[in-house]
Every structure is written in C-alpha cells, then in structure tokens.
Chains A and B, each alone.
Chain A
C-alpha cells in the first residue's frame, strides 16, 4: 500500500508531463481493475441500495466467495442510478464483458453465483452488459448503455458513480483524479483558475443560476486576510437525494472540486455543510477526506506550493432555512439559522465577516471536469446560456426512479417518458413537480419545455436543486399543496412577518378547503371561496415582502397549482368532492348492508357517534353527522365500509 502511494504521488500526481508513461498506465489499469485476472463482483452500496437490502446481499456474496471461490474479488461501489434495480450486482469474468444483475436480494445470490462460476449464465434479473474494447461479448444480451434509462442521459458528473470503490483514493487517482487540482496549485494563479471557470459559463446549480466564476472573482477581489469556501450539501427538500447519492458514490471528485474552488478564491478553510441523518454519506466523505490528507493533498504548504488548505465537515442541526446562504453562515457561527438582509453578499462579508463563497455539491462536481477538459469542452455541452448538464432526482409515480443526469436543453418530456419510462399503466399523468417545496408544477402542455435557466424562468418556473417528482391522477393537488405549505410553515424561521404569518394563514385556508364544514347553513361555501381568493393576495404579498428565498418562493406550489388545476380547487369548494379520493374530510362513507356483521367496532370508535344500529344487524352512517375522519373505514375487518 505504501509503495502504491509513493508511486501514485511521484509518477502520476506530481508527474510533469500530461501524458503518463506506458508502464505507469499499466499499473493504473490494474488499480482500476480493468483487466482482472480473477472474477470480480461489484455490489452497490448507497442509501437506496441499503434500503433495498444490499448489505445482506454483500454478506451473502462474501460468504459464498470464501466457501467456493476464494480467489474472486468483491468490491463495494456507489449507486449507478436507477433505484428500481437495487440491489444491483455487477459481475466481471476475466476477459469478458461486465454483467449487471438487478434486484439481487440475499436469497438470489447462491443460484446466481453458482450459475456464473459454472458457465451457466442466467438471464433472469439480468439488466445488461457493458462493453469495453478487447473483451468478449455475451451474445444475445442487452447492453446497459442501450437501456432507455441510460441512452437519454449524459453522464458526466455521475460518470464515476457506481464504477469504483468510493473509499479508495487510489482508484480515483488511477481514473485521473486529483491531477487537475495538483496542476492548478502548482501551475496556475488564483485568477487563472477563476478565469477558466468563468469562461466555461458554469452556473450555480442550486437554483439561482449565478455564474460561478464571477462569484469566485468577487470573493477573490475583496481584500481580506482570510476567506472561506462552503460546500452546501444540505439538501433537505422533501424528495431530493442527488447530493447524497453523489457524496456516497463519488466523494473524491467532490473533494477535488472543493479543493480547486478553495484555491481559486485563496481560501485556506473549506467547510462541507451536510444535512443531519445521512450518516452513511458523512462517513464516506470523512474517510475520503482523511485519505486525501494522508496523500498530502491538504494541509500545510501542499506539495511545496505555499498553499494551505483544510477541509472540515459540519452537520446542520436541523432547519430547512439553513440552506439559505446567510442563514447557513449564521448557523456556522453558532447562532440561530436566520437569514439576513443582502447586501452585503457573503462574497464580501460572509462567515465571521470574511469573504465567503457558497457553492452546492453539483456545481463543485463540475469544477474538476472543467479543469481537466478545458472550458471549451464544457461549452459544447448543453445550451448557449446554460452549458453543462443537470442532475435530477426522479421520484414519485414514474416507473423508474433514481438519480439521472441530462444535458441542458433536454426536454422535460424526455426525462419523463424516456428515462423514467412514463408512469404506471392505466394511470393518467397529472403533473411534474420541479424544485421541491418551493417549486412549480409542470402540466402536460408544458412538457416540451427544455431544461434551461432562461427558458424555464420565462414561464415562471424555477429549476430548483434537482427534485423531479412525477404525479399521477391518484394525487390530489389541493392536498399536495397543503403538504408543501405545511412543510414550509414548520420550517419558516419566524424572523419576518410575511413568511411567518403568511404560511400559517395559507395553511389554515387550505385545510379549511379539504375539511368538511361542520354546519351547512351560514354560507360556508362562500367563505371557503373567499378564502381561496385571499390566498392569492397573501401569496403575492409574501412574494414581494419576505426577507429570504424561503418566504418568497413558498407560495409557488399554490400559485402554479391554482393556475393549472383551478377546477380541482373549485370541486373541493363547491362540490365537496376530491376526485383522487385523498382528502379524507370530503369523503362520504356508507355501510355495505351485505358485508356488515354488526360487530359494533365502528360505532364504538366513531368520534361523533354518527353510526347507529343494533348489534348483529347491519349498521348505518348518518351522513349529516359524519365528519369524514375515516376511522370506521380503517377499523372495519369485513371491508363493509364504502368510500365515495
């Protein structure tokens, strides 16, 4: 191990020429396990794989190997992308293409490996093969990169995910990693690095889309004795998991990105701000940082360049608003995570009053690639104004969910229909929710919109940080809007009144829309209708007067739902009907006379005593009294309660 370290340092990282010698390449090939002499088995091990049971699969394979094939290698890799395929197992027999098997749970391990090691390759659960030059093909088996999920993607940031052991720095270096960082600190000045990134046109991927190079220059040009770089990995939007997947699958590239960015702004302290509860990602990142430190990639006077850098991980203590730049800085300073008025922007006075650059994970992942391939290469990707790619966490009611990466300019329809393979059969598509709790809905008319900052902005849609939730007819839009509003209400920090009071009021009105009115007489329908009219006013006030992005964007889901699904709101108000049958308060219940046994269970539990009857005779529900809580429905053992 020590030998390999010295070799990688001397012959690869500190090697003066860009092209490495043939002998070096040969060693690197071995480190990359490109031409293994023994079979190698790769098991995915991200959070989504662990949830699907990959830990058990791993130990089953481990014990199989030690019993039957002690020479075979076993490697834990990151997530490849499609969550449906988890636990994903990849098998490489020497001299042949890699084979990917999907959904390999514990019990499937033995039959699968028995087949593989005795030349009886099973095609059940086979996802596909991947080919490299000089390897024997598996006849008649599909190729992984020809699967619709992969063909429509452009995987640059995710190119390493699922391919290498994220805990091995050696493998990352053998894949060309850390070379652009070492080159940057030895041969480029701060300004040159900023220039390269600015010329590439890289824009911040957290939603705002500000030019990254320009942001760096602002910080660099502010006179100060210390500067900070913060990597914002606090992805806490409900339904977003791109950052976590990246951290788990390719932590070293992120570290390289952080290191280059820190160098570019002359910062000697970098902080990774992570969400709490993702211990797996944190441990991976911590290990990666420790390994990089062992290699001398951080510390004092790195490779005699005179540059010092230290990277630390901080865990957020749990507040959604901390994702906002100034609130994040307050949290790091040990204060309440409340946003502050801007300007001054963090690039002039940020953490401890020093210039601070805050970039998110995806932005920083692009940096090593741009340094490696040049800004011109980056410009060839994506659209004129939004070069590069965008990573999305596709989830919800699509047939395939997972982390995907598409070139900017790809249509939303392509992500929905090609990559996520549409929605489940027999269901009708309703909308796509882009950008988490403060994003907007995209309906079928707008599906041909392209992923591009300007094009989406024109339609009033924010790109968001990467949430892409597919919604089908079984979802009630009013209830979904209420869910987002409840989330924001809970997360509002309470500093400014429009957000603190506005979210509470909006939630109240939305709840009254989905609740059954207690009495019908006093024009409650009109009141509820007035409520929705007021919602629009509150929404516009919040948009104009809230202090930070959280409050300004909080009404977005409501505004776009009202625009696109007005009929659903009206149905809830006037007809007291929820077409998706989700809003419990609006459902009406009745008892099936044939199925009811008269057990009295429902009548005993009914909170308003709306169920009457005689024991062992069919019961009935008095509709005027029913508040639609649904307890009877849950409690009935004979499915005698009908819902309408």
Chain B
C-alpha cells in the first residue's frame, strides 16, 4: 500500500496545490478508498494540513473513506430512471443490505452508490454491478440477485 502511494507521489514531482485532486483520485483508483495514512502522507508531500485535505475530499462525493464492498452496486437515479421507478430500487437495496449509500456492509461484501445518470435512459431503471449493467431491473428481482452475488462471493 505505502509503496504504491510512493509511486503515485513520485509522478507529481513538483507537488503543487492543483495536483491534490488528481493525486487523491489516483490513490482512490489504486486502493479503492482514501485511508487516513494516505491523506497524512499526501499532506506532508504537498505541505498542506490534513484537515484541509480531508475537508476538500469530503466536499466531493466521489471520494470514499472506507474500503468499498467486494460487490459495488451503482444505481442510476437520473430523471428517466426516476420516472421509471428507481426510488423503489434504492429503497430495496437499502433494505437488503442494511447500509446507506457510500457505506459498506459489515461483512465487507456490499456497498452501493447513487449516480445521477449512466446514459442508458431507455433501459431504466438501471443498475451496474461491478461493471456489469442490469437493465429494466425490478425491485422484486433484487433479493434474488443479491443472494446470487453473495453465493458467488462466499464460494470464491
């Protein structure tokens, strides 16, 4: 983990303020989330206080501070999906996983986030499970889907 971080920081030799967001994005892409250790290290690299970096990172909703689940679900909540009933999908997933968007279940299996539009307006409600799209999904299909995913994780 820390070696990867060093490799990332090495790319930004100058270490200017405007590099902060790209650095955080790259760390997140690599590790899946921003750990406390990483934020402290970035702070000392850029000469910025940790609170400032944390304040900035929490302002933007793409940054995560906990590891994401083994299964990451993205739910489209754009207008078109909303008209087709994405709210019930969100409610159902909340009920099934028992966590709120951005959090991870205790067993580390599931996490989900709500996005504003994924570009498949004709196929709504739309969800994306680890990069795979499920179009025209219905709330009643979700328990089975989640059960199936759980089975896959546990037998991996």
Give A residues with C-beta under 8 Å from B.
Answer: 46-48, 50-52, 83-84, 86, 236-241, 244-245, 276-278, 314-320, 331-337, 352, 393, 395-397, 401-402, 433, 436, 467, 469, 471, 474-475, 480, 483, 487, 493, 634
Contacts and interface: CB of A to CB of B under 8 A. Distances in A.
Interface string B10-52: 0000001111111011000000000000000000000000000
Interface in B61-112: 61-63, 74, 77-80, 82-83, 87
18 contacts: A47-B120, A52-B120, A237-B116, A238-B77, A238-B82, A241-B121, A277-B74, A315-B25, A318-B60, A319-B59, A320-B116, A335-B56, A395-B78, A395-B122, A397-B83, A401-B121, A469-B80, A480-B82
B60 A337 contact: yes
Contacts of A278: 119
B24 A317 contact: yes
A244 B139 CA distance: 28
Given A238-B78, A239-B78, A314 B120 contact: no
B20 A469 contact: no
A318 B56 contact: no
Given A239-B121, A401-B121, A336 B21 contact: no
Contacts of B122: 48, 83-84, 86, 395, 401-402
Given A237-B117, A239-B121, A318-B60, A483 B82 contact: yes
A240 B18 contact: no
Nearest to A314: B22
A396 B79 contact: yes
Contacts of B78: 238-240, 395
A238 B76 CA distance: 9
Nearest to B135: A51
Contacts of B55: 336
Contact of A47 (B16, B116, B119): B119
B115 interface: yes
Contacts of B79: 238-239, 395-396, 433, 436, 467, 469, 483
Contact of A336 (B18, B24, B59, B119): B59
Contact of A52 (B18, B59, B116, B123): B123
A237 B61 CA distance: 15
B60 A317 contact: yes
**Interface band, chain B:** 35 or more
A48 B55 CA distance: 36
B56 A239 contact: no
A52 B135 contact: yes
B118 interface: yes
B18 A238 contact: no
B80 A318 contact: no
B80 A239 contact: yes
B118 A336 contact: no
Contacts of B83: 396-397, 469, 471, 474-475, 480
B61 A318 contact: yes
A401 B77 CA distance: 17
A241 B83 CA distance: 16
A244 B115 CA distance: 15
A241 B123 contact: no
A507 to B, nearest CB: 15
A239 B117 contact: yes
Contacts of A84: 122
Contacts of B9: none
Contacts, number: 125
Contacts of B56: 334-336
A52 B56 CA distance: 37
A238 B21 contact: no
B126 A51 contact: yes
B123 A48 contact: yes
Closest 10 CB pairs of A and B: A318-B62, A239-B79, A395-B121, A83-B122, A51-B120, A317-B60, A395-B80, A238-B78, A334-B20, A47-B119
B33 to A, nearest CB: 14
Given A238-B116, A396-B80, A333 B123 contact: no
A328 B59 CA distance: 14
A329 to B, nearest CB: 11
Contact of A334 (B19, B74, B87, B117): B19
Nearest to A318: B62
B118 A396 contact: no
Contacts of B74: 277
A241 B124 CA distance: 14
Contact of B120 (A83, A320, A335, A467): A83
Contacts of A493: 59
Contact of A244 (B19, B63, B87, B119): B119
Nearest to B57: A317
A610 B63 CA distance: 42
B25 A317 contact: yes
A83 B120 CA distance: 8
A353 to B, nearest CB: 13
Contacts of A236: 116-117
B121 A277 contact: no
Given A48-B123, A277-B115, A401 B60 contact: no
A278 B76 CA distance: 13
Contacts of B118: 47, 51, 277
Nearest to A320: B116
Contacts of A401: 80, 121-122
Contacts of B116: 236-238, 320, 487
A308 B118 CA distance: 36
> Of residues A240, A278, A493, which shows the largest number of chain B Cβ atoms within 10 Å of its Cβ?
A240
B84 to A, nearest CB: 8
A69 B68 CA distance: 45
A42 B29 CA distance: 33
A83 B63 contact: no
A462 to B, nearest CB: 16
A471 B55 CA distance: 39
> Of residues B22, B60, B116, which shows the largest number of chain A Cβ atoms within 10 Å of its Cβ?
B116
B121 A319 contact: no
A337 B20 CA distance: 13
A221 B62 CA distance: 38
A634 B96 CA distance: 13
A511 to B, nearest CB: 13
Contacts of A319: 59-61
B77 to A, nearest CB: 7
Contacts of A467: 79
Contacts of A334: 16-21, 56
Interface in B117-137: 117-123, 126, 133, 135
Contact of A240 (B57, B62, B87, B117): B117
A637 B119 CA distance: 34
A335 B77 CA distance: 27
Contact of B21 (A51, A317, A474, A475): A317
B103 to A, nearest CB: 16
A318 B62 CA distance: 5
B21 A331 contact: yes
A318 B123 CA distance: 24
